[in-house]
Amino acid sequence: MIAPSSLLMTTFRAAVALKILGVLVGLASNQVILGRTLIERWWMALLTGIVLLIILLPRWTQARHTQLIVALTFALLAHSFDIIQTTHVPFEPLVAASPFGPSLVYTEYEGNNMHQLGAIFWAVPVVLACWQYEYRGLFALLGAGVLYALTPLLLPGDAFEWVYYTVQGFVVLGTTLILALTVAALSRAQRREQAQLQAAHQQLAAYTMTQEQLVVSRERNRIARELHDTLAHALSGTAIQLQAVQTLLPLDREAAGQELAAARTQIKQGLEESRRAIGALRASPVENLGIMGAVQERCDACAASTGARMVLTMNSPISHHLEQVVYRIVDEALTNVERHARPRVVRVTVDVLPAVLRLTIADDGVGFDVTANREGYGLLGMRERARLAGGTFQVASDESGTMITVEIPA
């Protein structure tokens, strides 16, 4: 069961404080009208208010349910205690002792009825019980009704005009019932919505975790493919060349030296690819430079390594959720250019249209045979990134160059 909220307990304390204030106002009014406070008829109302406020002090941090139930029960009983004590104090002697007695404007019945207005306070525990316990809180209203019916058994026979007492009871309890039903319905609806929201939050957290795991898994697969296409290839080629050196060394030292130089070049290329793979594991340049700065930096690096002229065109900002996709595809494509294309001009174009983002990377290098079903050169990684973003990936290549086109919903 949900523990009573701090707001509920604070509301309860505020209502009790208002009751105490009302008693003090009554005492002050008596002083003005009668020349004395008539504390003899009011002390129980003041005492029950103070006791209830003590019960509600924020000290039962581990037993809030117990504190609330005790406070609700005492609040329901308090008015009966008040009215029983008040009506058993003789009214006439107090009036006679007052310097303004003869000029009183209300009778004993009217004074008792004034005290009986405290029954309105029953609405507080009933409504708060429905706030906390929903429709089960209506048992508090049932208790209030029973107390209202039984209290006259302990009162003097001439304490009230009983018709007025009965009508007042129907009004107070009926109004309290309407308020209690409304609060119970609102409380139930609120808790249902909170439960749905919590369930949705848990589902979202689980979905996010799953997505993170998928992203990590896909990135591992991408790096594995890249290492296989580059480092593993370089190392296996180096091993073959060193074997050739071992074979040629006794027969042809010049040919063995050439193979050794080729192996050294292969090792350097493998080291460069290893550094690039390690760099890909670090934070993306997009996070530090923004998408425009990161793509520009990558184009500059490609120009420096190939000597090609780079032409970068980006016509408008890119949606934040597509920045990493665009950068990674550009990075993979330019890596292929650096390794294989030997181009003179490389064009990178990011065209953001109303419904689609079109990314094009074109070079005038040597090209390759796309019908050979070669998914090396990072093509598989680029294709998967485009597919995961809901887009398409196309590659066209011949002896005049290569063009990669990616279209992703904007």
In this prediction, residues 25-46 reach a mean pLDDT of 84
Q: 203-232 pLDDT, tens per residue?
A: 887 887 777 777 777 777 767 766 666 666
Distances (CA, A) of 236 to 116, 135, 233, 256, 262: 99, 76, 5, 18, 13
CATH 3.30.565.10 at 289-410, yes or no: yes
| Mean local confidence (pLDDT), 75-89 | 88
- Give the pair of three-digit tokens for residue 296: 């520009």
8 A C-beta contact, residue 363 and residue 402? yes
C-alpha 144/C-alpha 180 separation (Å) is 12
CA 93 to chain CA mean position, Å = 66
- The residue ranking higher by pLDDT, 110 or 172, is 172
Residue 145: CB partners within 8 Å, gap ≥ 6?
A: 169, 173
Read off the pLDDT band of 269 (50, 70, 90).
confident
What's the rounded Cα separation, in Å, for the pair 57 and 73?
16
Average pLDDT across the chain, whole number: 83
Angle between the 138-150 and 123-133 helix axes, to the nearest 10 degrees?
160
pLDDT score of 14 more than 90: yes
Tokens of 251: 């027969």
| Residue 203: burial class (beta carbons within 10 Å; 0-12, 13-18, 19+) | exposed
Own/partner pairs for 230-238, CB < 8 Å, 24+ apart?
Answer: 230/269, 230/270, 230/273, 230/274, 230/277, 231/270, 231/273, 231/274, 231/277, 234/266, 234/267, 234/269, 234/270, 234/273, 235/270, 237/263, 237/266, 238/263, 238/266, 238/267, 238/270
Q: For residue 308, is pLDDT > 90?
A: yes
Mean pLDDT value of segment 53-81: 85
Burial 329-355 (b: 16+ CB within 10 A, else e): bbbbbbbbbbbbbebeebbbebebeee
Inform me whether the pLDDT recorded for 373 exceeds 60: no
Task: Tell me 408's DSSP state.
Answer: E
Nearest 5°: phi and psi at 317? -60, 155
**Residue indicated by tokens 């004034």:** 114
pTM for this predicted structure: 0.53
Structure-derived torsion over alpha carbons of residues 20, 148, 137, 53, reported in degrees to the nearest 10: 20
**pLDDT score at 103:** 53
Mean pLDDT calculated for residue range 323-336: 90
* Domain chopping of the chain, boundaries: 6-160, 289-410
Whether residue 279 has pLDDT greater than 70 = no
Residue 115 has pLDDT above 60, yes or no: yes
Whether the predicted pLDDT of 350 surpasses 60: yes
Give the residue, 354 or 300, on which the prediction is more confident. 300
**Is residue 370 over pLDDT 90?**
no
Helix (H) or strand (E) holding 345: strand 345-352
The better pLDDT of the pair 377, 406 is held by 406
pLDDT tier for residue 239 given thresholds of 50, 70 and 90:
confident
Q: pLDDT value at position 348?
A: 96
